[in-house]
Amino acid sequence: MMARCCALLAALLLAGCATPPAPPRAYVALLENADGSTGRVVYSSPAGAAELQAPRQAVALDGPPTVFSVSPEQLQRDAGAAMAAQPRAPRVFVLYFDVGNAQITAASQALLADILADVKSRPTADLSIVGHTDTVGSAEQNAVLALRRAEQVGQLLKEAIAAAQHVDITSHGETNLLVPTPDETAEPRNRRVEVTVR
């Protein structure tokens, strides 16, 4: 999954205080992704450009683009409400299947309760269920089999589907391989259904 780069714009009127230099009134700050990684942001203005590469690095929106650091406390004061209002990141569950059928593996069966719990923990959840196959068999057969797998997961997740605001059940067949293989190759990791909860 592509890493996300989260840039936060905080435009605030700051009360005067006698502490060490306060951040400017308006700035862009780089935040960590949910998985702890950090992307990068290049900010350009008529005054120049600056690259942010580390968590809480920031640059003022007016004046010279000089990079500075924002403390966690300052960031919370300036933008805590905005950060708290961000939607939760999507969560992807991968369920695997036995060869040539729509029978979910025992290990994947154990994930169904986690999916239901994640759906119920969101005020409004969207659910995407996408079936996949390996490259054994024709593309047409695999499109049908992948849809059967997705629909089977939908049946197993009836309670989660009832709790979701929107549900999309589709098939990618053998067109979106997790592990690239030649045709007619049995690959267990490609025989899957990906369930995304947003």
Q: For residue range 109-135, list pLDDT tens digits in order.
A: 999 999 999 999 998 999 999 999 999
- Do 134 and 71 sit in the same domain of this protein? no
- Do 68 and 112 sit in the same domain of this protein? no
pLDDT at 1: 36
- Do 123 and 149 sit in the same domain of this protein? yes
- Strands annotated E in the chain: 6-11, 26-31, 41-45, 48-52, 57-60, 67-69, 91-96, 126-132, 166-173, 192-197
Check if the beta carbon of residue 28 is closer than 8 Å to that of residue 9: yes
Asked which of 84, 114, 145 is the last residue of a domain, the reply is 84
- Do 71 and 115 sit in the same domain of this protein? no
pLDDT at 62: 85
pLDDT at 105: 96
| Verdict on whether the full-model pTM lies above 0.75 | no
Residue 128 makes CB contacts below 8 A (sequence gap 6+) with: 167, 168, 170, 194, 195, 196, 198
How far apart CA 41 and CA 5 sit, in angstroms, is 7
- Do 123 and 78 sit in the same domain of this protein? no
Domain span at 49: 6-84
- Do 146 and 103 sit in the same domain of this protein? yes
- Do 53 and 100 sit in the same domain of this protein? no
Average pLDDT, the chain: 88
Residue 56 lies in a domain: yes
Q: Which two tokens stand for residue 58?
A: 């920031």
pLDDT at 111: 97
pLDDT at 110: 95
